[in-house]
Each structure stands twice: as C-alpha cells, then as structure tokens.
Amino acid sequence: MSAIFGIVRFDGDSVAQRDIERMGTILAHRGPDRRQAAVEGSAAMGHCLMRVNQEDWLEAQPVRDGVLMLVADARIDNRETLAAELGLTDAELRDMSDSAVLLAAYRHWGEDFAAHLLGDFAFAIWDARARTLLLGRDHMGQRGLYYHHGDGFLAFASEVKALWAVAGVPRRLSDAGIGRRILGPIDLPPGETIYDSICALDGGTTMRFAADGTLSRRVYWEPHASPAHLGHDEAYYLDAYRAVVTEAVACRVRRLGQAPALCFSGGFDSGSIAAIAGPIVAGTGRRIVAVASVLGEGERRTVRDARAAVEAFRPFPFLDLRHYVRGDEGMFTDIEAAFFATDDSAGNPHVRHGMYRIAASTGARLVLDGHGGDYTVNITGGALLGRILRRGKLRRFVREFRMRARATGWPWLAILRHEVIPALLPVQGFNAARRAAATWRDRPINPAFADTLRGGGAIDFGRLRYSRVRHHRWRDASLHHLRKVTRSQPLHATLAAADGLELSRPFHDKRVVELGLAIPESLDFRNGLERYLARQAFADILPEQLLKRPPGNDAEQPDMFRMVKHGAPAALAEARRLDQGGRLSRYLDLDRVERMIADADERKRPDHATLYVAARMTTLARFIGWFDSSNE
C-alpha cells in the first residue's frame, strides 16, 4: 500500500522543501520501492511507492504536465474501459501507470472523473492555473486520506501522523470523537476523527479546495441497488452472483507481482475468495498464502474455532495454509507502539498483526480478507426466518421452520425465541423506550462528560447502539451499515501497511455492493439456511463440508475472552497511574470499567460483549494517557 501526502498554501507563501520531505520520511514504511516529492511554489506533493501490481513498475509520481500535478495510491480495475472512452490505444495503455490513466481521465471528465473509476484509490490533484486542490477517495473507502484545513494552507496524507510534520497542524484530541468511542452512536458524521481539526475524507467523496479558502464536498457514489440487477428471476441472480463476485476477486489478483495472502477462516466469504483466486494465482506458478487464526491443537472455548473449517480446504493444491495461534501477546501488548502505528485508540489488533506478519514473511505484498460479505451479498442478519412470517408467507414459513430445525438440530422453542419472535417485535416502539430509558447510562462514561456532550448537541443520545433490538432490519440495516463503512477510517489497512502489506476487500467492491442491495430477500434464506446464493453459485468450487455448514461464523479471535480477562486488569491499573489530575477519569468511569472486567463470566455469552466493551474502554484510556504524554 503506497502513500500520498502534500501541502498547498493559499496565502501566497511557498512550501518549504524540508516540510514535504519530513512528511515523506514519516510515511517511508509505505514506500519501500521509491519515495519522491515535488515542490512547485505554493504547492508540494509526494508519493511513497510500494509495487504490488504490474503497472506499479511504471509509476513515477508526482505526475506533472506543467499545469496539473497528481499523486495517487491506486489500483484501477477498469483500465481498458477507461482507455476506450479516452481514445487510448492498447499500445499507449500498456505503457501507462494507473496514475497516468487517472490524469488522462481528469483531463477528459474534469472533477467528475472519479465516478468513472473502478478500484481502490485515493488521489490529490493540484491545478496551478485554477489554484484548486481536488482530493478523492474510492467508493467504499478502502484507501485512506486525511486532511487539515488550516489558516492559509491545507495538508493531506494517507496517515494522520504525517500531518503533524507540518507546522500549524494541531495535535489535540476531540472531545466529541472520544465521546463517540465511549457511547457508540448509530450514526457517524462525515469526516470526523478522534483528533481535533483533522478530518478523514469519506469514501465515494471528492473535496475541492479553492484559493479563496472555500471548499466544496461532492458525494459521487453512495451504496445503492444497481437498477440493472433489479426485478430478475433466481437464475439471473445465481449467474450474477457468480460473475460479479468472481470479477471482484479476479481483478485484485490477476496483475500481481508476487503471490497474495489471505486472512482465512474457511467460511463462505474468505472461502469463495480462495476458491476463485487460487486457480488464477496457480496459473503463475504460485500459491495463495492463507493465514487462519485458530486455537491451539485440542483447545476448546465457548466461541467457535475456525480450525475444522480451514482444514476442509487442505486438499486444495493452490492454498498454502498457515495457522496463527496466539502466544503471550494480546491487545495490550506493546500498546503504545500500536497507537503510533495505527493512529487509533483500538489497542494492539494482535490477531491481525500476527496474521499480517506471517503473510509478509512469505514475500506477499497484497493481503485479502472476506470482510463485508455478511452485509452485501451474503446477508446473515438476525431473524431471517421470522421475516418470512412477518411478510405473511405462512406456508413458506412452516416449511422453512422445519428445515431450519433439521439443518441446525436446534429445539423448536429456541428457534422461535431467537429467530422468529425478534422479527415480530415493534422496532419503533422499542426505539422510543430506549430513548426514554437513557441507555447511555449503561456505558462507562463520566456522567459530567456525558452532560457536556448532550448539552453541546455533539451526539444524539436517542440513537445509541442497543443490544435488544436493531434500529433497522434486514436490507435497511445493511444499507445503513454500508453507509457507515464509507465514513469509516481504514484501521486494518493502516495496520497492514505497517507490516508492509496492501489490504483489499473484494466484498467492498462497488459492484458487489450494488448487486447485494438488489438481491430479493427471498434469496437470503432458503432450505433452512442463510447464504443460499453462495451455496448454489459456488457449489462446484467449495468443499462439501462448507456447503452443508450450519449457521454462524467462526471467531477471528477465538481466545479473546481469556486474553482480555488476563491482560485487562494490569492495563487498567496503568491507566489509573496515568490519570494525573483526572485527565482520563474526566471521560471514563474507571471504577465501572474495573467492575465490568471483574464480573465477566466466560460461560455467559452476554458477558463476552461486556468484557469486549471494557477492553475497548481500557485501551481508550491508555490511548488518551499516551497521547497526552507524547504532547508534553
């Protein structure tokens, strides 16, 4: 994963060479193959290159033509289509990097060009004649881009830490951002980060900054059902499912310089990626490095372990299966190094870090995962069986109910309680009761801080996450979640970059999203099981064991409970030590966090979620303490 960075001054001053070079130095881990910056008076841009695809060997950014200057972190999947529309010959395209294609597209379509692109990308274009800067991010935000709009200048970068190399960029936490980490509101405002005056560009968005200080934000794409996929029969959706998912995977692996890696669980999403990409990679004489997070041999926990599902793929010759088994490391291990690497309060994503390290050790530069399948084309939202009854389809409900019981072996009363009744409950009524009950009091937040947030209107206290009833159901829930994803910051991609990898998610491909939202709900659940289309469309390439698999997902962190239970008390004790002058307890009720940790019982499933919240609050407290100390 490459990096881009830059500074544009609108106050007439020139950009100092040392400032832009300092940004590049901070992002050097994302540019093992080349690092270059260019200064043109009041504008400076830089690029750190990591070669992943064949076209990357043609890159020589920043790209300049005397008027325009462009930098991009990009993989463009529709190069041939763009070339035809731009009037480029095959020979011309063969010698063009992705950044050169982007510049040609910008010249042709102007600021609307992003709507014509397919792929993962973030870009910046400086127009010296118009004195405007255009920033853009791909549809689902797989590549990150942050910026600070200061007094007379704008700075942007692929990671937050590079912005602090520029004089005038504040290094402060945002109270509203901290409040959102504690309360977990349903809605995310555009661009907000945990840092004051530092914004993240949303996915599917371009931002134009002009010399007079004005900015204009344009959403060029939002998650939606493609009209081309609406209103068809089952045969169409089976064909479309296979074609679209196959192309989303294939375009990520067909032009690679090295064999890719895959964060692998043996489930339908990562399993489909493996089965599709495997033969393509095998055609180059390589194998996919499939890294699975599993428990140690013979260990058992109350959550599902992926080992058996992963082993079902052992006969596939194009997979190099590797296991990550947690040792002594955990989310609190080297926590301050993790804060610096990710610019985030999540602590040490130790499982992903361990998987990425294994992948990188094989020479891979691209890592894929199956994240996103559950809310695009493989909907697994709760109470899908009850939805059939809610729609009044009684005969189908009875048939599917019986098949559900046979497929899962679950008692009828359990199916009614967990998969039927929740679909019949009045969501609006429960949401009103939730608002009246002040559910924010369930969060370990300092009440005085909560009052400040509520009084300032920074967070809607009537729209906080609540475990009993969803705020939306089924397709509405998926659409809402997809919109949130476009506003999310790429934590896992930033972590992958720290380990020398580029992360891409095929199920976040816009084509997959637009198909998923068009699939009729009758195809979400069939024969007593979810993922009907995946089971049918890929029946010839997936293991029989997976095709017959009962519902549920295997945990990527199967040892999470015991790891947190063991490590959280010491991490919280260190947070208390850092709480000098109440700088942490002004936000968090640390006593309550301590009780949540102490009272959690591994045998009680709700306690797993409670302990996870306590762990996140502990890492947030440590992050605030670390950040404040690093500013001193």
Give the tens place of pLDDT for each residue, 400-426. 999 999 999 999 999 999 999 988 887
The position carrying tokens 């891409």 is 504
**7-27: string of b/e by CB count within 10 Å (b at 16+)?**
bbbbeeeebeeebbebbbebb
Given pLDDT bands bounded at 50, 70 and 90, which one contains residue 469?
Answer: very low
Q: What is the pLDDT of residues 59-103, one digit of tens each?
A: 999 999 999 999 999 999 999 999 999 999 999 999 999 999 999
- 227-377+487-547 has which CATH code? 3.40.50.620
CATH of 3-219, picked from 3.40.50.1820, 3.60.20.10, 2.40.50.140, 3.90.1720.10, is 3.60.20.10
The pLDDT-based confidence of 558 (bands split at 50, 70, 90) is: confident
| pLDDT tens per residue, range 133-182 | 999 999 999 999 999 999 999 999 999 999 999 999 999 999 999 999 99
Q: What is the DSSP letter of 552?
A: -
Cβ burial, residue 548 (10 Å; 0-12/13-18/19+): exposed
Q: Cα dihedral angle (227, 233, 238, 244), rounded to 10 degrees? A: -10
- Identify the weakest region by mean pLDDT among 40-49, 189-198, 273-282, 435-444: 435-444
Q: What is the mean pLDDT of the chain?
A: 93
Confidence band, pLDDT 50/70/90 cuts, at residue 428? low
Between the alpha carbon of residue 465 and those of residues 89, 382, 444, the distances in Å are 53, 16, 14
pLDDT confidence of residue 468: 43
What residue spans in the chain does CATH classification 3.60.20.10 cover? Answer: 3-219
CB 346 within 8 A of CB 619: yes
C-alpha 519, offset from chain centre: 23
Q: Which helix (H) or strand (E) holds 137?
A: strand 132-137
For residue 465, the model assigns a pLDDT of 65
Q: Is the peptide bond preceding residue 315 cis, with omega within 30 degrees of 0?
A: no
- Concatenating the DSSP letter of every residue in 463-490 gives SB--SSS-SS-THHHHHHHHHHHHTS--
Statement: residue 1 has pLDDT above 80:
yes
> Where along the chain do the CATH 3.40.50.620 domains lie?
227-377+487-547
- With 70 as the cut, is the pLDDT of residue 29 above it? yes
Residue 337 has pLDDT above 60, yes or no: yes
Is residue 551 pLDDT above 90, yes or no? no
Measured CA to CA, the distance from residue 226 to residue 600 in angstroms comes to 45
pLDDT at 431 over 70: no
- How far CA 539 is from CA of 152, 224, 267, 287, 532, in Å, comes to 59, 28, 13, 22, 10
pLDDT at 32 over 80: yes
The mean pLDDT of 271-291, rounded to a whole number, is 98
pTM: 0.94
Q: Does residue 466 register a pLDDT over 70?
A: no
SS percent in the chain: helix, strand, coil, step 5: 45, 15, 40
What number is the average pLDDT over the span 443-448? Answer: 93
Which range, of 268-277, 313-322, 609-618, averages the lowest pLDDT? 609-618
- Summarised one tens digit per residue, pLDDT across range 623-632 is 999 999 887 6
Please give the Cα distance from 331 to 329 (Å, whole number): 7
Query: What is the enclosing helix (H) or strand (E) of 617?
Result: helix 605-631
pLDDT at 433: 55
Angle between helices 175-183 and 605-631 (to 10 degrees): 160
- Is pLDDT above 60 for 434? no
Of the listed ranges 123-137, 446-460, 524-538, 608-622, the one predicted with least confidence: 446-460
Closest listed residue to residue 2, CA positions, set 32, 26, 22: 32
